[in-house]
Each structure stands twice: as C-alpha cells, then as structure tokens.
Structure 1
C-alpha cells in the first residue's frame, strides 16, 4: 500500500512527544532539555491540513530550567492533554517536582490547568516517560522509571497507592477494567478498583502549584497476573517489552512490541530483533507474532479505528501493520535522520505523524483501503485464477 507522506522541519526544536487532540490539531513537545544548549523547551499546537501541511497556531514556553515534555496523551474530549515535564533544579532541590501537567486547549491557546508531583526528587535521572488515559478519560496513568501512579482526571488526585516495579517501566495501557504495565522483563496485569473506591475525598487546594504527592490512599491496585516474554522469542535476559496497547474496540485483543536479543552462536553475534505480538486476553496466549526487523522498535501505537498498528524503528523507518493479520501494510524508509521518538494517529485514523530529535516530523496519509480489504481482494483474485485454470483444463480435455 502506497502511503503519501510529507516531512516538516522545525529548527531548534528536537521532538520527543506528540498527540492529536482533534483530527486537525496536533500538539508536539520538545526542546533542549535541562542542558544549557539555548534550545527552549516548549509545547507547540499545530493545525494539520488535508494536504498534510502544518501551521503553527500557538506555543507554550516552559519555565527556564524545566525539562522538555517527554511524554503526553490527549484526553478523549479533544480539549485537554496531560504531559510530563520535570521541574527546574531549584525546585527539585527543595523537594518539589510538579512533573505531571494538565493543559486545556481553547480558542487555539494552550493553558496550564493543573500540576501534580508523582516522581521522587531523589533520582535526578527519573522523568515521566509514560502518560496514558483510560478509554473513558476518567483516569490517567503516569510513570517514571520504576513507579506508576493512577490519577483521577481532571483533579489529578491519586486513586490508589503507587505501583513500584523492580524492572524499568516502558509503557502502560488501560482496558475498561484493567491496567497493564509493560516493564523490561514482563507484563503486569492489574485490576482497577471500582468507581466507588476511587472517588476522591473532598479537599481544599489550589489548581496550580505545590500539591502533596499524596500516596496516602489505602486503596491498592490488585495484581491479577504477570506475563513473561513468550518462550517462542527466546529466553535471553535482554528481551524486553517495549510497548503495550489494547485494541480500541475489543479488550480481548492486546498488542505488544518486543525487542529481543537472540542467543549467541559460534558465529558472529546476532543483532537485536523486533517483534509485534497479538494476544488473546481471555487465555493470555499469543495468537500471532510478526518479526519487524533486525533493529529495535522505539515507539508503537494502534489506530483509533483498530485497523492498523504503527511503529517507529531505530533503523530510522516507520511502518504500518494490518491489525488483524499483522501483515506489513506500508513502510517509509529513512523517515528521519535520528531514531523515531514519537508516533501518533489522528482520531479519525486518516493521518499518522512521527517525530524525532532531528527537529522533524513526517505526516502520512492513510488510504481508506485497509488490510482486511486487501485480504478480500486477494481472495477474489485467487477465485478468478482457479476459475481460469478450470476453464483452461476443460479446453484441453475437449
């Protein structure tokens, strides 16, 4: 499948996170981080047009010394988003890190609405690397390297005590009743508490500014099961879950992206390999597996209509898989000069945007023809071929 695509470059703006808040509104997060590079850290709001051109609408410049937005997620209402930004060093030294930040988008303007500290200030290298909303938008999960909190939205109040993991957290995903945390070693499946248990108690406080990282809630997320890396992909200690996503319309289907290190042989060492797995969450078994390539996957997502899987690779390419068969649907080689840092579908699943620290994004149009349509077309062609062979055989026998 041919995918039309258009690159866009933004000088002095390395990109690390992205989210569509509506079909034609895209937010990008990026900057130079806490280094004294002179590159400012910002959120930028763009209009994305039908011809894949982009137009800057607004930008929100973060305070001096604060980090760049390393992860973000758009609320289903199309008017709000949450992102992760570490506070400046001066605040960290005072024991304050308002890393979780909620923004509203009204009349083409980005406005900060709330902040919450969820990451310990004792680790200078920790940051909010995961931000994901529940399907109904009432909860948001945010995670650093080894700590994840589930917050009520829009209050950003914790609904349960933080989850601590031994291995590093790479991703998380909500279904209607469960939360899955992808660590480097395994998937941890948690049952979400009932709505009654998660109702925040009335509190008096400011919408902005310092808030207690109150993990005093007595509610605990219940661990349902732990899923190890499939044995079919080898037992190497270097195998890691890179991403996890539920099918948007079917909680019985789960997708994972894995980076594996094959067992050593007497010959030259085998490079890392990337796989995408489709899981049945009723039996927690792998239904399908697809090898993507011999380089690690850096980002992964599912289209809102559930038809495609999008990925970015350390080989600088981006690609699409059919969500049913996991067959390759399209790929763009050398989409960026550096590794792909973020990838996002528009709400209508008509656009795919990838971003990189090379100061660029690439906007791709997704044709209406889906992988399942291709399968149907192949069936028709096969049927025609069979009829043609049968007709030719009858002619020979006559």
Structure 2
C-alpha cells in the first residue's frame, strides 16, 4: 500500500483563499474547443483535463471571504496546479455549493442557497497560454429558481438528462437542454444527499436518510429500495462499469466502526459485499471512469484510493488537506484525482500505474515467469537447498493463478515461499 502526504509535492497542492465545496475536471470538449488545430497536433494526454473548476466561498454575511467559481490549470508533466486561478467568477453574496459539469463541454451548473445557475465556458482574448474562462449564461433555469438549496446534481453520461436533489428531499429529473421535467418526487428522502446515473442510462440512484432508492429512468418510477443494515448511515453513491456490459453500484456507509463501501448487484439490487475502509467519517467519494479505482476523502483531510478489483486500499495520502475533504473527481482518463477542502485548498493526486502493490509487485509481477518455474522445481524437489533457504512470507497474487492448480497443490504451503535464486 502506497503512502504519501501533501508535502511530497507542494506544487500539486494550492490554496485559493476561499473554502471549497465543489471540484470537477473541465471536459476536453470545453478545454480545447477554442483551438481545434492544437487538439489535432497535441497528444491527447496533453490536452485532456488541463483545467479544474472549483466552487466555494464564505457564504452570506460580512466574513470578508468572497464567493466564487474558479478555474485552475493543471500541468501533468510537472504535476502542478497553477498557484493562482486562471479565471474567477464572483457570485456576490451567494455561496456556490455543488457543481455538475456537462460531459459534452457545454458548461457547468451550480447550486446556490435558493436556486441553480448555468455557466458557460468561453475563450479568453489575452495572449496568456491559459485561454479558458467562465461566464454566466443568458440561459435562465426557470424550473430551478426559488427551489431552495440543492445538495446533489448530476448529468447522465451523454448529457441528455439532469438530476437534482434538494435539502427538502425533493428529487427532480429534466431533459437537457430543454429542461422538460421527466420526474418530480416530492418525498424521495427527508434530504437528498447524493445522486448518480448508471453508465447504461437506465437507472438513477439516490441516497439520503433511510434506504437508498433506485429509479427507472424510462418510466420515472422507483423500482427498488436498498435497505440499511443495523446502524448504517448512507452517504454517497456511484455506479461503475465492471465490463462493457456489466455494471455495479457502490454506496458509502458509516457504522460505529467507521466508513465502509457497500457493493450492490444492479440486477437483483442485493448486496454483494461490504468493506470497511476507514475509521473516520467519509466526507467525499468518487469512482474512476475506467471503474478500476474508488476514492474516499475523510473529515481529517486524508484521501484513500482503493482498487475495485480487490477492494483493498492502494494508496493513502495522509493530511492531503488540513480540513475535511469536500469533493473528489477523477480525470476522464483516470490518470489523476482532484480534491477540494474547507481549508481553501485543492490538490491533484496522480494515479500510479501499478498492477500489484507492496511485495506482490516487487517479487511476483517482476519475476512471474521465474517464480512459476521455481514453483514447479520445488514441488518436484522439495528437499533441495533452494527450497529450504531463507523464507519470505508472501500471498499468492491473483494474476499468478495461471500457474496450474496441480502445481499449487503440490507445493503444500504456497503462502510461505522459500528463497528465490
């Protein structure tokens, strides 16, 4: 398991002067639309996810802390966030709380204490290399005026539907961009905490007080209830693909022993597993677009990155932030994770490409063929010096199960592997 802290690379961690509540990557379509030639000449990895959008502030009153939506630039090569926002849109006394970026690059919707507003990307006219900016759209979301604080907002994968969930427990789904209502449930929960569409677009999950709920998008009806167990309190929800045709649902749950991730079957809507991850309460959660990683942020400012295949913690960033983590978002290519915090900081954590962590990677991945040959040798000649020399305690990794079962059975204690020479 990898470990780190925010001092490992200060350039990937920046403070922007306002408590942050929302964070997302700007879609490639928005980031490069002003220069299609650059998009064709520059490798995709260099043009994708160059900007992050952040939202937050001090709220109403006379705290002296402004409210704003910010754009910051991220350089993958140097692993650095811009030390100042490259664009800033002030929102007066209204605190921007949650944001949802349209996947097609059209803009970003932001929730405020009483309503939601739509903002559009625009190209800056200066010669500065950062050419992306943000402006309030002339488009008024009349259906989301005077609706109170919305705590959750999300688009479906193709951007044709928008779901919003309110502090008052009301769930709304609209066709985008027409804003034609397709679902309006006044009492979905006492308060809607989180929402997510399934990758195939067929379902919407909502969590709040009480059980989670599954909604059929086509019929606009509730089709399943996801019950809590014992003292659980559900927090966040995300669908994810496991293959091109299969998908899974994750819901975070707090118990007396700490934060857990519950995995659900998306056909039967039954629990598959529940994995305890952290002692501290979970304050943010997300899943990588490729479905391989889960990320958790805690009230202590720590970040945990978890393998979806093994449900084991792959990386821990201790004190990634000095305050609680409010938002997490993976880049579209799953190469990086942006996080935001009440301490006014944003951070980008690069995802290390490792198939196995710790000693699994050190010995097994690097020496797979040699190890397979060694297994065969010691199973046939268990009394040789090679088989009785120094011992290394290791667990058999899954990708070595290509070694035949008969070979494993012949070696009576394959968790205790003797010296490999």
Does the residue aligned with 1:386 lie in a helix, a strand or coil? helix
Does the Cα contact within 8 Å between 2:314 and 2:357 map onto a contact in 1?
Answer: no
Pairwise mapping of residues 121-132 of structure 1 onto structure 2 (< 5 A)? 126-132=148-154
The residue number in structure 2 matching 1:225 is 224
Does the residue aligned with 1:164 lie in a helix, a strand or coil? coil
Tell me how many residue pairs correspond in the alignment.
339
Deviations 1:10-63 (A, max 9, x none): 35211110110131110000110123211111111111101221233211111x
Q: 2:211 aligned to 178, 186, 192, which one? A: 186
The residue number in structure 2 matching 1:90 is none
The residue number in structure 2 matching 1:202 is none
Distance 1:181 1:251 in 2: 20
Does the Cα contact within 8 Å between 1:16 and 1:70 map onto a contact in 2?
Answer: yes
Does the residue aligned with 1:390 lie in a helix, a strand or coil? helix
1:19 and 2:45 correspond: no
The residue number in structure 1 matching 2:181 is 158
* TM-score normalized by the length of structure 1: 0.77
Does the Cα contact within 8 Å between 2:170 and 2:184 map onto a contact in 1?
Answer: no
1:9 and 2:10 correspond: no
Distance 2:312 2:134 in 1: 39
Does the residue aligned with 1:160 lie in a helix, a strand or coil? strand
Pairwise mapping of residues 91-240 of structure 1 onto structure 2 (< 5 A)? 97=114, 99-107=115-123, 108-113=132-137, 114-116=139-141, 126-145=148-167, 146-175=169-198, 176-193=201-218, 221-229=220-228, 231=229, 235-236=230-231, 239-240=232-233
Which protein shows a greater Rg?
Answer: 2
Does the residue aligned with 2:378 lie in a helix, a strand or coil? helix
Shift of 1:166: 4.0
Does the residue aligned with 2:183 lie in a helix, a strand or coil? coil
- Structure 1 residues 289 and 120: alpha-carbon distance in aligned structure 2, compared to 1, 3 A threshold: same
Whichever structure has more helix as a proportion of its residues is 2
Pairwise mapping of residues 228-377 of structure 1 onto structure 2 (< 5 A)? 228-229=227-228, 231=229, 235-236=230-231, 239-248=232-241, 252-261=247-256, 272-370=257-355, 377=365
Query: Runs of 5+ in structure 1 lacking a partner?
Result: 87-96, 195-220, 262-271
Does the Cα contact within 8 Å between 1:255 and 1:276 map onto a contact in 2?
Answer: yes
Shift of 1:384: 5.8
Does the Cα contact within 8 Å between 1:354 and 1:361 map onto a contact in 2?
Answer: yes
The residue number in structure 2 matching 1:31 is 57
Q: 1:65 aligned to 57, 82, 93, which one? A: 93
Shift of 1:320: 0.6
